[in-house]
Structure 1
Amino acid sequence: MNRKIKKVAVLGSGVMGSRIACHFANIGVEVLLLDIVPKDAPEGDKKARNKIVNDALDFALKSNPSPIYRRSFAKRITTGNFDDNLKDIATCDWTIEVVVERLDIKQQVFEKVEKYRKPGTLITSNTSGIPIHLMAEGRSEDFKKHFCGTHFFNPPRYLRLLEIIPTADTSKEVTDFLMLYGEQFLGKTTVLAKDTPAFIGNRVGVYSMMHVLHLVEEMGMTVEEVDKLTGPVIGRPKSATFRTSDVVGLDTLVLVANGLTTNVPLDEEKATFQTPGFITKMLENKWLGSKTNQGFFKKDKVDGKTVFLALDLKTLEYKPSQKVKFASLEAAKNIDDLRTRIKTLVASKDKAGDFYRNTFYALFAYASNRIPEITDDFYKIDDAVKAGFGWELGGFETWDALGVANTVKDMEAAGRKPAQWVYDMLAAGFTTFYKVEDGKKLYYDIASRSYKVIPGTESFILLDNIRAANTIWKNSGTTITDLGDGILNLEFHTKMNAIGGEVLEGINKAIDLAEKEYKGLVISNEGANFSAGANVAMIFMLAVEQEYDELDMAVRMFQNTMMRIRYSSIPVVLAPHNMALGGGCEMCLHSDKVVAHAELYMGLVEFGVGLIPGGGGTKEFALRLSDELQEGDIELNNFRDRFLTVGQAKVSTSAYEAFDYGYLRKGRDIVVVSRNRVLSEAKEQCLVMADEGYTPPVKRTDIRVLGKQSLGLGYIGANSMFSGNYISEHDVKISQKLAYVMSGGDLSQPSLVSEQYLLDLEREAFLQLCAEKKTLERLQSIITGGKVLRN
């Protein structure tokens, strides 16, 4: 069946419903969002009857982080109520129920839905705790055939997990469609789950969290110690365990845990889901986390300063949060490879090592014993916890990193025996859960006792899978990989993917190779962020030591490399994701095309460290301003908009907003919602340009700059902001330098200039600011504390 989704109905506008509606609007789908009519709302008064749904949507759109890529996308959402507008679901291709978690209410809703729903359309529930098959009881054959669970994780825009839970009556066509649609269009990691309590993600993820809550009592650990050990050091989110609980809400975590205690009577770890004593007391005190302004952590004022307090789990009193030190963490902090770092931590002999062995061995045993209860394939468990809880490595991937066979022995010694299928796998000569062959990641299939390609990944290009076999050159900060079909890929792997000399060398080498033997170049990576910008530590060091000739050379090299990206004889496509700041943004500005992931936080942020963009970014904004001016435009208004984007260091909150700020180019750059498809799409776009007979652009000598007209505007604006105490005296100086470059200097009248002319002005201004004491103070603040200093 050639099924298309043009319009979706979302029934229920609470926290999840309104945000699910926003995410469908994000991808261009028309949405009908419905909720109940307020009591006593009069007939015919549309505003009064839609108050609940409108208030909920308005609250969602004002929330931070935003559930919507661009505010204008909210126009794709139409609101209504169940009494007046339920009939309108007849125009929808998919109806998603997100009402209160009560079976009787859901069944009542579905009974009404069936009166209006068009046969053959999808109908799903976003329940997180009610068995899917119970909700379909009493419904028609067509309803049951097109019904299943679609469990989004909150917030739907940002958490990538989407669990698809079919019933025995669900059509395979429906299941297959939802698995593909969720990944390709909604950008989700879609995981096929069985209809079991809490499905996959929450069953294993909540178990892991509850195990830690019990362990903290047994080992006498503090909340600060646990959060230090369960955060980024092992590839988990910064919020780790206790801060995550505060954000989610302690009541929500306990609700899921209590549901599991009740609904999994045969679970060998059932007791783990029971609430520890200190949690019970916190619930009684209503210390639920962020929603009550205190949980495991809280903010307080001491002598006028904000301090962070942590809960002492023994006394249930708050005390100043303490820094945590473990010998094992010190030993592992310089190990960049996550798998190697975890192996080192688990082998350590201190308290942290004891903690890691306890938590990982418990996780491995529990996850392996959930097969075949919650799924037949262990990779789905890994996918679920990674996408739903933000883990970089799933449990079975971590087990592989430690060595499966040796870890089984250690688990047995610790009283944590894995499932029998793990022993069978090892006895049959299979020593790992995963392996990579021919650029594809394979998993051990328990049923067939063989390795198989993970379904649905055949169309992805993942650098982790091809790097070992396809690397043709590398240095300390970059790797060049052959993507096939004549296209190369350059990736960075410096800290935060910062751009220094090794990255610039890698870019030039990649272009050299591509121009000689290949068709084109893609620049992308699989790091947490595309690039946080130039290596500010290097800039600071050279500036402090007054090595201005070396600094000038470094800036020239950066500028020349950006211009090489623009004018090379082969197409260069950039594929940024998450943060693309400063130099990372400038690199994108000079590419032939950008294939951006939808979650893109892009901006020229140099102003915050006392500088202007010095790698061609200021020049490029002047060039784009020149190109966008139309006859009859008020030129100074256009200049002001571009000037403020850089001067206010504006950062997009999505790739779509990057178009609004002028970082991405309408009609040229494109957005991909599925993170796994960004590189394959970038390669395809590069190949198309190459095969169509790519011709490099002509070097520009016709850039119209406004001279003193716009320079005066920049000076007046900066002085006005200073007079109003909105910016500092140093901000005024930076603004004047920015205005000078974007105006082409103090030319007496609008003139045509070259790119090199603007680059020289830009570099000169950049170097002058590097000599300023207050700029050095700002650079130092960023380097030492990661904080923007306004001095």
Structure 2
Amino acid sequence: MNRAIKKVAVLGSGIMGSRIACHFANIGVEVLLLDIVPKDVNETEKAKGLTLDNPQVRNRIVNDAFQSTLKSKPAALYESAKASLVTLGNFDDDMSKIAEYDWVIEVVVENLDIKKKVFENVEKYRKPGTLITSNTSGIPIHLMTDGRSDDFKKHFCGTHFFNPPRYLRLLEIIPTKDTDPEIVDFLMKYGDLFLGKETVLCKDTPAFIANRIGIYAIMSGMHTIEKMGLTVGEVDRMTGPIIGRAKSATFRTMDVVGLDTTVNVANNLYAGLPDDESRDAFKLPGIVKSLYDKKWWGDKTQQGYFKKTKDENGKTVILELDFKTMEYGERTKAHYESLSKVKDIENVKERLPILVNAEDKAGEFYRATFYDMFKYCSLRIPEIADELYRIDQAVAAGFAWEIGPFETWDVLGVKQTAEKMEAAGMAPADWVNEMIDAGHESFYKFENGKKLYYDIPSKSYKVIPGTEGFIILEAFKENKVVYQNPGATVYDVGDGILNVEFHTKMNAIGGEVIEGINTAISMAEENFRGVVIGNEGQNFSAGANLAMLFMFASDQEYDEIDLMIRQFQLTMTRARFSDIPVVSAPSGMALGGGCELSLHCDAIQAHAESYIGLVEVGVGLIPGGGGTKEMTLRSSDEYGEGDPELNTLQKYFMNIATAKVATSAAEAAEMNILRPSDRVTLNRSRLLADAKARAIEMAEAGYTRPTERTDIKVHGRSSMAMFEAGITGMLYGNYISEHDAKIAKKLAYVMSGGDLTSSTLVSEQYLLDLEREAFLSLTAEPKTLERIHSILFKGKPLRN
């Protein structure tokens, strides 16, 4: 049966319900968000003379919850206008409306009796064939359908989103024995293609997959932390980005989520897993129980493992808990040799073996926690999943890990790690040793551009289902690399398309990356038919190589800087004026030079979570790689008959002058960074494949090399006068510094086309020359060097 989801009803408007509603609105689905009617009017409503019959009162709970979500940071919506797709109501007055909706998602409190009552009410109004799912995080799915009709049971399933649903990629699909397999297939594909999720099929076991493994890792780790006497600061340094985990690491994550939530899940797992061989790990360690009893649950109680306070100068400071005294003090840091050794290693897979094998306290901690996690995961097959890749997918997507447990084990070497685990009294499941004895020494391998996993029942390797259409660059490394230098790799990804991957720090664009881009375009013009520029890292590119620029500027090597800018500009225009289509595939940060590169490609295939912008003013510069030129050109193209053209130009000027960054691909489209012809991919795993398909489409449509534009309308002195008036006002109002004003005037000069007496049509090269000269002049400014120095050596922007 063909099934389309145009309208979704979300029952329950709490933190998860409202955010799930927003994520459906993000993809253009109409949403009905319902919650209970208040029992009484509050004091404010009484003062207004309102009663419980008033619609405003009856919808107070859902209204307040949704407004709170709209104000939350990070934002739940791609763009604020999407809020209009969400209609609010209550269970008593509006439940009958679900008859018009294609999917009903229950997100009420974690109480089985309450959920059953909601489902009883749903069945009164739900039309046959409508999807009905629960977002429970722990209640057994099969218990919820008692007393429900066969049609209800057939279309019922668990769909467990992770919070916040816009940002965490996991969607666990948990069917019951009565769920129609067609419904399961639909939900798996819909979550992948339309919601952008890593959809993982789970068994109906306690906490499903991600929370079962993730909470175990946290609680087991807490026992190790207590045993080793580690501090909050030491642990968060060791368990964050350095091992490919979220910035919030261990304790900050627990403060954000709420210690009570973590404890409740752990307690439920302990109670619900009498046969789990590692059940005692779910018992609360002393340091956790003490905080829980004091109700120091994190952000929701204003203190947990961390506490915000003010110093004597009124400045906000963050203190951390001392486990020995149970008092708050200055934050501690982990000073271990192994952590210092890996600070300049960008690839987490290269860092992990150094860290885990280190002979210091950090290495001891990693071995204890990693080996225990590996053992636990191996023993959960086939209990919670029949295939090992499902555990990796769920944990990585649900807890924002770069690589999952079995992938991590692979990086460390399966055989040698298993031997060390056994020696440490943490022997893995028998199937691991059987795999090794059979000569298979990795859980994953790559063949013919595909990623394969070890299938335990068949004792062979199989392609991970659902990934057949993905491009996984690691799978091309063995025999599909056609060019490589220390900063970039060019792969032949098939069908006549090359892919350029950066692997500098933060994927910064320097000489090696420039060389890689130019080489790929030259190779494609000769023997291929298109180029994709993209990677599988967290960020597309944080911009140009500031370190090299700072070195030249400090030594006053302005000829070198001029050459550097010219090469950058030539490469950007090469991407635009080549004989083959060039497609950019940004995801994460695409800032400064990374944004400029995307602006000059023939097409952009952006991930929905792309943060794109021209941010050069933050380091005392203006966009010098064609970004200023391109925004001036796009402003000119927006002018229409009778339009106030200077207002349009000012909008683009302000985006650059304020270093505005789009917080989603949708917002990038609003800023005209993405053009109407550019496209968006919801699922990060599909981004490179979609970009490749776009390049093939353009090539097969008869791609024609563009020609340089010579019709860009600039306004000379008239726009300069407008800009300078605004800059002066901002300066006198103390909104900007004198150096900000100087940068803004340089930017205004370029976007006005220079000192022209009237509006004139100019070429792209004309604007590029103005842009380069302005950029070069700013590199001679001491305050610009101070800003660059602050970013490079302190990691934070400087306002001077």
TM-score in terms of structure 1 length: 0.98
Which of these residues, 640, 647, 655, is aligned with residue 665 of structure 2? 655
More moved, 224-233 vs 583-592: 224-233
Note the 1:307-386 alignment, pairs <5 A. Answer: 307-386=317-396
Given that residues 134 and 157 in structure 2 are in contact (C-alpha distance below 8 angstroms), is that contact kept between their aligned partners in structure 1? yes
Secondary structure of the residue that 2:10 maps to in structure 1? strand
Which residue in 1 is equivalent to 2:45?
none
Shift of 1:339: 2.4
What code does the residue aligned with 2:29 have? Answer: V
Secondary structure of the residue that 2:734 maps to in structure 1? coil
What code does the residue aligned with 1:361 have? Answer: Y
- For residues 107 and 301 of structure 1, what CA distance do their matches in structure 2 show? 47
Shift of 1:239: 1.2
Shift of 1:231: 1.3
Shift of 1:359: 0.5
Which residue in 1 is equivalent to 2:47?
none
Shift of 1:101: 0.7
Which residue in 1 is equivalent to 2:501?
491
Which residue in 1 is equivalent to 2:33?
33
Note the 1:673-692 alignment, pairs <5 A. Answer: 673-692=682-701
Which residue in 1 is equivalent to 2:217?
208
Secondary structure of the residue that 2:479 maps to in structure 1? helix
Which of these residues, 181, 193, 201, is aligned with residue 192 of structure 1? 201
Say whether 1:582 aligns with 2:592. yes
Shift of 1:136: 0.6
Percent identity over the alignment is 63
More moved, 558-567 vs 307-316: 307-316
Shift of 1:625: 1.0
What code does the residue aligned with 1:711 have? Answer: M
Which residue in 1 is equivalent to 2:554?
544
Say whether 1:148 aligns with 2:162. no
Which residue in 1 is equivalent to 2:250?
241
Secondary structure of the residue that 1:54 maps to in structure 2? helix
Shift of 1:484: 1.1
More moved, 329-338 vs 95-104: 329-338
Secondary structure of the residue that 1:484 maps to in structure 2? coil
Which string of whole-angstrom CA distances, capped at 9 and with x for unpartnered residues, describes residues 628-687 of structure 1? Answer: 100100111111111101111100110000011121112x11111111111111111111
Which residue in 2 is equivalent to 1:260?
269
Which string of whole-angstrom CA distances, capped at 9 and with x for unpartnered residues, describes residues 497-525 of structure 1? Answer: 00111111111111111111111111111
- For residues 237 and 478 of structure 2, what CA distance do their matches in structure 1 show? 32
What code does the residue aligned with 2:607 have? Answer: H
Which string of whole-angstrom CA distances, capped at 9 and with x for unpartnered residues, describes residues 452-507 of structure 1? Answer: 11111111112122232211001110111112111111111100000111111111
Shift of 1:336: 3.6
- For residues 723 and 757 of structure 1, what CA distance do their matches in structure 2 show? 33
More moved, 16-25 vs 335-344: 335-344
Shift of 1:428: 2.5
Say whether 1:4 aligns with 2:4. yes
- For residues 274 and 741 of structure 2, what CA distance do their matches in structure 1 show? 67
Aligned pair count reads 790
- For residues 692 and 661 of structure 1, what CA distance do their matches in structure 2 show? 28
- For residues 441 and 646 of structure 2, what CA distance do their matches in structure 1 show? 67
- For residues 316 and 24 of structure 2, what CA distance do their matches in structure 1 show? 39
Say whether 1:508 aligns with 2:508. no
Which string of whole-angstrom CA distances, capped at 9 and with x for unpartnered residues, describes residues 234-260 of structure 1? Answer: 111121111111111111111111111
Given that residues 226 and 287 in structure 2 are in contact (C-alpha distance below 8 angstroms), is that contact kept between their aligned partners in structure 1? no
Which residue in 2 is equivalent to 1:598?
608
- For residues 344 and 43 of structure 1, what CA distance do their matches in structure 2 show? 64
- For residues 462 and 244 of structure 1, what CA distance do their matches in structure 2 show? 30
- For residues 561 and 537 of structure 2, what CA distance do their matches in structure 1 show? 28
Shift of 1:335: 3.6
Note the 1:401-480 alignment, pairs <5 A. Answer: 401-480=411-490
Given that residues 346 and 504 in structure 2 are in contact (C-alpha distance below 8 angstroms), is that contact kept between their aligned partners in structure 1? no
- Kindly report structure 1 stretches of 4+ aligned residues shifted beyond 6 Å: none
- For residues 149 and 78 of structure 2, what CA distance do their matches in structure 1 show? 38
Which residue in 1 is equivalent to 2:22?
22
Shift of 1:87: 0.7
Shift of 1:608: 0.8
Shift of 1:283: 2.0
Say whether 1:299 aligns with 2:291. no
- For residues 187 and 616 of structure 1, what CA distance do their matches in structure 2 show? 32
Which of these residues, 205, 222, 232, is aligned with residue 241 of structure 2? 232
- For residues 81 and 340 of structure 2, what CA distance do their matches in structure 1 show? 48
More moved, 610-619 vs 411-420: 411-420
- For residues 77 and 475 of structure 2, what CA distance do their matches in structure 1 show? 32
Which residue in 1 is equivalent to 2:107?
98
Shift of 1:605: 0.3
Which string of whole-angstrom CA distances, capped at 9 and with x for unpartnered residues, describes residues 399-442 of structure 1? Answer: 11122122122111111121121122223222211111111111
- For residues 11 and 226 of structure 1, what CA distance do their matches in structure 2 show? 39
Given that residues 132 and 156 in structure 2 are in contact (C-alpha distance below 8 angstroms), is that contact kept between their aligned partners in structure 1? yes
Shift of 1:204: 0.4
Say whether 1:763 aligns with 2:772. yes
Which ranges of structure 1 fall in alignment gaps of 5 or more residues?
none
Which residue in 2 is equivalent to 1:785?
794
- For residues 96 and 495 of structure 1, what CA distance do their matches in structure 2 show? 42
Secondary structure of the residue that 2:478 maps to in structure 1? helix
Say whether 1:48 aligns with 2:91. no
Which residue in 1 is equivalent to 2:565?
555
Which string of whole-angstrom CA distances, capped at 9 and with x for unpartnered residues, describes residues 375-411 of structure 1? Answer: 1111111111100111112111111112212212211
Secondary structure of the residue that 1:468 maps to in structure 2? coil
Which residue in 2 is equivalent to 1:670?
679
More moved, 487-496 vs 320-329: 320-329
Shift of 1:607: 0.8
What code does the residue aligned with 2:16 have? Answer: M
Which residue in 2 is equivalent to 1:128?
137
Shift of 1:52: 1.2
Given that residues 338 and 363 in structure 2 are in contact (C-alpha distance below 8 angstroms), is that contact kept between their aligned partners in structure 1? yes
Question: Over the residues paired in the alignment, what is the CA RMSD in angstroms?
Answer: 1.2
What code does the residue aligned with 2:90 have? Answer: N
Given that residues 238 and 334 in structure 2 are in contact (C-alpha distance below 8 angstroms), is that contact kept between their aligned partners in structure 1? no
- For residues 238 and 712 of structure 1, what CA distance do their matches in structure 2 show? 45
Which string of whole-angstrom CA distances, capped at 9 and with x for unpartnered residues, describes residues 742-791 of structure 1? Answer: 00011010001111111111111111111111111111111111111111
TM-score in terms of structure 2 length: 0.97
Which residue in 1 is equivalent to 2:192?
183
Shift of 1:43: 6.7
More moved, 764-773 vs 346-355: 346-355
What code does the residue aligned with 1:438 have? Answer: N
Which residue in 2 is equivalent to 1:570?
580
Secondary structure of the residue that 2:296 maps to in structure 1? coil
Secondary structure of the residue that 2:461 maps to in structure 1? strand
Shift of 1:338: 2.3
Shift of 1:286: 2.4
Which residue in 2 is equivalent to 1:734?
743
More moved, 273-282 vs 477-486: 273-282
Secondary structure of the residue that 1:9 maps to in structure 2? strand
Shift of 1:176: 0.9
Which of these residues, 394, 407, 411, is aligned with residue 404 of structure 2? 394
Secondary structure of the residue that 2:8 maps to in structure 1? strand
Which residue in 2 is equivalent to 1:77?
86
Secondary structure of the residue that 1:469 maps to in structure 2? coil
Shift of 1:40: 4.2
